[in-house]
């Protein structure tokens, strides 16, 4: 039996075929897609298997509400009912960060990199937090309970920028900072490009802008760690996250800046200061999360 998994992000589509719980073939497609083109690409890819897929799981960069996916960085809405009809197989849609969260137990070795090892990754409260920075920004809390992953979806990129970060940005950009209303306006690929342009117009070079972005990203991550208390670590993913932690020093400085706030009790500071910070370098992680969803498919 062959199943199909796919990950549709803001700029890329990744496809995979699954046989006997193994990912046996993958393909990437870049560019804009409407539903008709998406269906054509999936059909063409699935034809390589020599048989139609029995089931399909697609992760998408946006919320899935009542079986309908609303992609936040593409003008596209997808329906499980319509895709199942068009593809001739049962289709399930899942948020891309929820898929990555489901993949965490399968990620190790070359699939991850340690930003800060901290204490050994241990069950503790069973909680982890996935932070994605690419075309957009979002997070997914994950909890391991009895060997199963419970994922909590969100659209945190549209939450208001934390006040301390907004104050720093105002000092750097002046009135231009007023346009940065939510986290995604700053911590994202387009947000990083905007910050580089704004500081460049003030005579600052690109390296200074990138270090500032990394510091502010570290502050956002520390703020999220306080909110979600992830004993199993903070897991970073996405091309813009990778760029901002390529130099770990400003990122960790921003993280520790939040933990150094005098209002934070010493016990909390010590615990979070030892929390692992992990970079997901396996680009197929969302597909692996879709595979985990196949494994939980009702019989």
Residue pLDDT, tens place only, 66-115:
999 998 777 788 999 999 999 999 999 999 999 999 999 999 899 999 99
Q: How far apart are CA 189 and CA 244, in angstroms?
A: 10
By percentage, how much of the chain surpasses pLDDT 90? 70
For residues 121 and 263, membership in a common domain is answered with yes
Q: Could you tell me the CATH number of the domain that includes residue 84?
A: 3.30.420.40
* Predicted local distance difference test score (pLDDT) of residue 31: 76
Q: Is the pLDDT reported for residue 121 higher than 80?
A: no
Q: Within a domain: residue 8?
A: yes
* Predicted local distance difference test score (pLDDT) of residue 164: 92
Strand partners of residue 182: 160
Q: How far apart are CA 129 and CA 242, in angstroms?
A: 16
Q: Within a domain: residue 103?
A: no
* Predicted local distance difference test score (pLDDT) of residue 9: 82
Q: Quote the pTM value.
A: 0.91
pLDDT band at 120, cuts 50/70/90?
low
Q: Within a domain: residue 102?
A: no
Asked whether the beta carbons of 30 and 8 are under 8 A apart, the reply is no
For residues 48 and 139, membership in a common domain is answered with no
For residues 184 and 271, membership in a common domain is answered with yes
Q: Is the pLDDT reported for residue 274 higher than 90?
A: no
For residues 89 and 162, membership in a common domain is answered with no
Residue range of the domain that includes 262: 108-280
Q: Tell me if residue 232 falls in helix, strand or coil.
A: coil
The CA radius of gyration of the chain, in Å to the nearest whole number, is 20
Q: Within a domain: residue 101?
A: no
pLDDT band at 123, cuts 50/70/90?
low
Q: Within a domain: residue 195?
A: yes
**Cα–Cα nearest to 103, from 190, 31, 14, 163:** 14
Highest mean pLDDT among 43-52, 56-65, 267-276: 56-65
Mean pLDDT of the chain: 91
Q: Is the pLDDT reported for residue 122 higher than 70?
A: no
Q: Count up the domains in the chain and report the number.
A: 2
Give 218's contacts (C-beta < 8 A, 6+ positions apart): 250, 251, 252, 253, 254, 255, 256, 257, 258
For residues 119 and 43, membership in a common domain is answered with no
Q: Tell me if residue 258 falls in helix, strand or coil.
A: helix
For residues 201 and 272, membership in a common domain is answered with yes
Please indicate whether residue 118 or residue 68 has the higher confidence score (pLDDT).
Answer: 68
For residues 67 and 51, membership in a common domain is answered with yes
For residues 133 and 44, membership in a common domain is answered with no
Q: How far apart are CA 170 and CA 148, in angstroms?
A: 43
Q: Is the pLDDT reported for residue 119 higher than 80?
A: no
Q: Within a domain: residue 256?
A: yes
For residues 189 and 229, membership in a common domain is answered with yes
Strand partners of residue 30: 12
Mean pLDDT of 24-38: 84
How far apart, in Å, are the Cα atoms of 219 and each of 134, 171, 184, 196, 226? 18, 16, 14, 18, 11
Asked whether the beta carbons of 242 and 279 are under 8 A apart, the reply is yes
Q: Within a domain: residue 135?
A: yes
How far apart, in Å, are the Cα atoms of 292 and each of 24, 44, 61, 83? 15, 24, 18, 20
Give 195's contacts (C-beta < 8 A, 6+ positions apart): 186, 209, 212, 213
pLDDT band at 297, cuts 50/70/90?
confident
For residues 21 and 88, membership in a common domain is answered with yes
Q: Could you tell me the CATH number of the domain that includes residue 260?
A: 3.40.367.20
Q: Within a domain: residue 228?
A: yes
For residues 239 and 222, membership in a common domain is answered with yes
Q: Is the pLDDT reported for residue 4 higher than 60?
A: yes
State the CB neighbour count (10 A cutoff) for residue 191.
23
Strand partners of residue 114: 278
Mean pLDDT of 275-283: 94
C-alpha 155: how far from its chain's center? 11
Q: Tell me if residue 55 falls in helix, strand or coil.
A: strand
For residues 47 and 162, membership in a common domain is answered with no
């Amino acid at each position: 039996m062959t199943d199909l998994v796919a990950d549709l992000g803001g700029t890329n589509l990744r496809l995979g075929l699954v046989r006997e719980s193994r990912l046996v073939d993958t393909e990437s497609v870049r560019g804009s897609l409407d539903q008709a083109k998406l269906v054509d690409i999936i059909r063409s890819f699935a034809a390589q298997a020599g048989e139609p897929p029995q089931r399909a799981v697609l992760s998408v960069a946006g919320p899935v509400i009542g079986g309908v996916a609303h992609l936040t960085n593409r003008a596209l809405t997808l329906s499980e009912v319509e895709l199942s009809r068009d593809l001739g197989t049962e289709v399930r849609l899942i948020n891309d960060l929820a898929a990555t969260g489901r993949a965490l137990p399968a990620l190790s070795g070359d699939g991850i990199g340690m930003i800060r090892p901290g204490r050994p990754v241990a069950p503790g409260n069973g909680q982890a937090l996935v932070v994605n920075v690419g075309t957009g920004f979002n997070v997914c809390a994950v909890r391991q309970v009895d060997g199963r992953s419970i994922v909590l979806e969100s659209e945190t990129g549209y939450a208001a920028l934390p006040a301390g970060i907004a104050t720093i940005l105002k000092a750097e950009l002046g009135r231009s900072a007023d346009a940065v209303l939510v986290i995604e306006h700053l911590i994202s690929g387009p947000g990083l490009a905007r910050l580089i342009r704004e500081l460049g117009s003030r005579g600052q070079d690109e390296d200074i802008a990138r270090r500032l972005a990394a510091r502010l990203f570290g502050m956002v991550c520390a703020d999220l760690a306080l909110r979600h208390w992830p004993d199993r670590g903070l897991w970073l993913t996405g091309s813009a996250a990778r760029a901002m932690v390529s130099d770990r020093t400003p990122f960790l400085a921003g993280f520790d800046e939040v933990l150094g706030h005098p209002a934070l009790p010493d016990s909390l500071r010590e615990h979070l200061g030892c929390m692992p910070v992990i970079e997901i370098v396996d680009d197929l992680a969302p597909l692996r999360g879709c595979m985990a969803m196949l494994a939980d498919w009702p019989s």
